[in-house]
Amino acid sequence: MLPGEAPAGRDADSRLFHTYKWQALEATFREVCSRFGVEEIRTPIFEDTALFHRSVGEATDIVAKETYDLEDRGGDSLTLRPEGTAGVMRAIVQHGLAGGQNVLLRLYYLNSHFRYERPQRGRYRQHHQVGVEYVGADDPMADVEVIALGMTYLREVGLDDVRLEINSVGTPTCRPVHREALRDHLRPHLAAMSEDSQRRFETNPLRILDSKDPRDQEFIEGAPAMIDYLDDEAAEHFAKVQAGLANLGIPFVVNRRLVRGLDYYQKTAFEVVHTALGSQNVVLGGGRYDGLLSALGGPAVGGVGFGSGVERALLILEQLERPIGARKLAQVYLVAREAGERATAQRVASELRAAGLRVDYDLQGRSQKAQLRAANNAGCGHVVFVRDDLPAGWVQLKNMADGEQAELAIADLATRLTTVYLSR
RNA sequence: GUGGGUGUAGCUCAGUCGGUUAGAGCGCCAGAUUGUGGCUCUGGAGGCCGAGGGUUCAAGUCCCUUUACCCACCCCA
């Protein structure tokens, strides 16, 4: 790597020129969150490495081979956050935010995440997610609320043709029962299955259900599903979530094989998929993580949340040729040529900008033709000719749409233009 | 981590079998014509051919190394 060259897989540079899309997406997300009474939380970009190992799960692929680990000058091991939930939970525990009884925290974040993996389209070592966490709510209505927020966000950002898939991954009491049933079912066929599945047979057999390896498919077909082993508590919770979604008219399908990549999920798990991206079709995913807060030393309260990839959402919108946001280019361009005219133009620009207008003028000493071209390219509605041969204090105002132009006193310019561009 | 592909102008890309001064389109700049932008025409600027090494009389072109990006897998958002 040359000095000054960007490290691999961040895709930061190519974002430079379409940030208006990011801004529009972010604004939509923040706005939807505010309607749901959700406030922003900002957590550090790195955490103690142990936090992610304890919360995300040792056996998950994220921790096993994808965390971006760094050592600081003191020799401590830090990890750039691979996902959003763990850091939020750590902050809640550390600051006692969920200390009182019946405290409900509704938080959203919008930040960078890092995974040390091979970059590819729509998947970068530094990527961004928006997400929400509802902490302190055991009620299934909270699950429904979180899902509703996510669906609203996707719809308003331009992704309404998506499919919501839900499942229940059980509780710590019923999951082991299913796990053994699953192992009993798979054990006779183990030798014929993929290496990954053989490894997961010991570490995390539930993940085998999620395998896409063709060798595994026939054995997965008849495998016992978690959903058939739910205890009363989990079954009732799952039923209420479904009833709640129906109550809101949110379409969903139960995907019996849906499993999430992180260990901390319990009961509800959900994904929202879009068909435009092939195998990378998940645009939003989340679930309930009731044991997580207490596992990190906090109170035994439940939580539910989701994360959604920003790059992926923008990529789908791009593929579907759905516009999002717009560049805010100049509304008014000041044309000047001689030194005296240019000084006047700079002063007038300053006045018009103070009045709230988006104003531009030439800083490179280019020809009048080039200046007009710039005005045209920016889509300016008006051009102001600053000319020494006019009476002092007067300029020419040209309407670019119809070509009409008239002389006007500089003193009247701001009023005239603000009525065009700022009144509504 | 595995397997492929690609790095040439600001952008998208040509560049034959190794052979003179490395090209096109778009964009940019200047000019012509429009009053003063768009359309058209003329001219111009702009290149460490990703980097390092090697082979050769001669390398954008062949070989090695390296780096970055792309695609797929794994996995995930």
Q: Is the ipTM of this complex over 0.90?
A: no
A11 touches strand B (CB under 7 A): yes
HSE-up of residue A85 (Cα within 13 Å, Cβ side): 28
- Return the pLDDT at A11: 46
Give tens-digit pLDDT for A28-53.
999 999 999 999 999 999 999 989 88
- Return the pLDDT at A2: 40
Query: d(Cα A111, Cα A293) in Å, to the nearest integer?
Result: 21
Which nucleotides of strand B come closer than 7 angstroms to any CB of the protein?
Answer: 1-3, 28-31, 33-34, 36-38, 67-77
Report CA(A10)–C1'(B30) in Å, whole number.
Answer: 40
Nucleotide nearest the Cα atom of A208 (by C1'): B75
A332 touches strand B (CB under 7 A): no
Nucleotide nearest the Cα atom of A285 (by C1'): B77
A307 touches strand B (CB under 7 A): yes
What stretches of A15-142 adopt beta strand conformation (E)? 39-40, 46-48, 68-71, 77-80, 105-114, 126-135
A9 touches strand B (CB under 7 A): yes
Residue A185 token pair: 């079912």
Among chain A residues 267-306, those with CB within 7 Å of any atom of strand B: 271, 278-280, 282-285
Give tens-digit pLDDT for A160-211.
889 999 999 999 889 889 988 988 888 888 888 877 788 778 777 888 877 7
Among chain A residues 349-368, those with CB within 7 Å of any atom of strand B: 366-368
CA nearest to nucleotide B34 C1': residue? A369
A383 touches strand B (CB under 7 A): yes
Report CA(A132)–C1'(B41) in Å, whole number.
Answer: 59
A260 touches strand B (CB under 7 A): yes
Report CA(A375)–C1'(B31) in Å, whole number.
Answer: 20
- Return the pLDDT at A213: 73
Tell me how far CA of residue A242 lies from CA of A82, A138, A142, A164, A253, in angstroms: 30, 15, 12, 12, 9
- Written as tens digits, the pLDDT of chain A (424 aa) is 344 445 554 444 444 457 888 899 999 999 999 999 999 999 999 999 989 888 877 666 666 678 888 888 898 888 889 889 999 999 999 998 887 778 899 999 999 888 887 777 777 788 889 999 999 999 999 999 999 999 999 999 999 889 999 999 999 889 889 988 988 888 888 888 877 788 778 777 888 877 777 777 778 878 888 899 999 999 999 999 999 999 999 999 999 888 887 778 899 999 999 866 555 578 999 999 998 999 899 999 999 999 999 888 888 888 788 888 888 999 999 999 999 999 999 999 999 999 999 999 999 999 999 999 999 999 999 999 999 999 999 999 999 999 999 999 999 999 999 999 997 5
The residues that bridge with A408 in the sheet, in sequence order, are A395
Report CA(A367)–C1'(B23) in Å, whole number.
Answer: 29
Residue A316 token pair: 């789908």
A16 touches strand B (CB under 7 A): no
CB A40 within 8 A of CB A109: yes
What stretches of A24-89 adopt beta strand conformation (E)? 39-40, 46-48, 68-71, 77-80
Report CA(A405)–C1'(B35) in Å, whole number.
Answer: 11
Among chain A residues 175-214, those with CB within 7 Å of any atom of strand B: 196, 207, 210-213
Rg of chain A on CA atoms, in Å: 28
- Return the pLDDT at A369: 95
A262 touches strand B (CB under 7 A): yes
Q: What angle do CA A29, A242, A212 make, to 5 degrees?
A: 75
Query: d(Cα A18, Cα A300) in Å, to the nearest integer?
Result: 43
- Return the pLDDT at A376: 94
Q: Is A351 in a helix, a strand, or coil?
A: helix
CB A284 within 8 A of CB A106: no
In 3D space, the residue among A321, A262, A225 whose CA is nearest the CA of residue A52 turns out to be A262
Distance, C-alpha A112 to centroid of its chain: 9
What H or E segment, with its residue span, contains residue A375? helix A368-378
pTM for the predicted model, two decimal places: 0.90
CB A289 within 8 A of CB A270: no
Report CA(A2)–C1'(B48) in Å, whole number.
Answer: 15
Nucleotide nearest the Cα atom of A10 (by C1'): B69
In 3D space, the residue among A26, A225, A215 whose CA is nearest the CA of residue A112 turns out to be A26
Phi, psi dihedrals of residue A301, rounded to the nearest 5°: -120, 155
A1 touches strand B (CB under 7 A): yes
Nucleotide nearest the Cα atom of A129 (by C1'): B77
In 3D space, the residue among A145, A171, A133 whose CA is nearest the CA of residue A265 turns out to be A171
A118 touches strand B (CB under 7 A): yes
- Return the pLDDT at A315: 83
Q: How many CB atoms lie within 10 A of CB A336?
A: 24
Report CA(A385)–C1'(B25) in Å, whole number.
Answer: 34
